[in-house]
Chains A and B, each alone.
Chain A
């Protein structure tokens, strides 16, 4: 099984909400792991979106904070991302990632899913 697997619509209309889910396999969501999202617009660099732990504590990128909500469902071993009021600049490959407690790097990445914002 793939440790982290993203899922969600590949096409979202402008002004709508982008919603993605990441299924976690082989790792407990109740330990000192944090679960996050990073995106990469086509041909560009990476951008950190935020992360969440099993209890729902979140940290968001200040530049996206007003539009981002993350949630976690430990019973289903998954976590989710909602990004509201999307525009074309939100078109990107979205990766779900894992970090460990007070370690400041991402040690596990999903394969990524391309989300295109277009009417």
Chain B
């Protein structure tokens, strides 16, 4: 079973862009195409922001985008806003198992 590695924290100023990486460490990661991202504000439940690597659910601002290169998936937030400050969790489905990364705390300076 693979593990997903995320940076513990990232930061950016309002209006800037930040990218959060999610790297799969496994000898058999498959095609890593079922990656999703969740935003979690303190004390709140996670919210789906990106699924299937790059798709955005209805209602999620287009400032949020997802991509993948090899075994690293990325979440990019452009035009940072103060309300984007939150924890972000990546998740991958492989075989019949969901795996989450450790989460990344985004600070908007």
A residues at B contact (CB < 8 Å):
44-48, 59, 61-62, 95, 103-107, 109-112
Contact = CB atoms under 8 A, between A and B. Distances in A.
Interface stretch (B12-20, B74-82, B96-104): B96-104
17 contacts: A44-B103, A45-B89, A45-B100, A45-B101, A46-B46, A46-B91, A48-B97, A59-B96, A95-B45, A104-B34, A105-B51, A105-B91, A105-B93, A106-B36, A106-B46, A107-B51, A112-B45
B79 to A, nearest CB: 24
B84 interface: no
Chain B interface size, as a band, is 20 to 34
A92 to B, nearest CB: 13
Contacts of A62: 1, 97
B48 A105 contact: yes
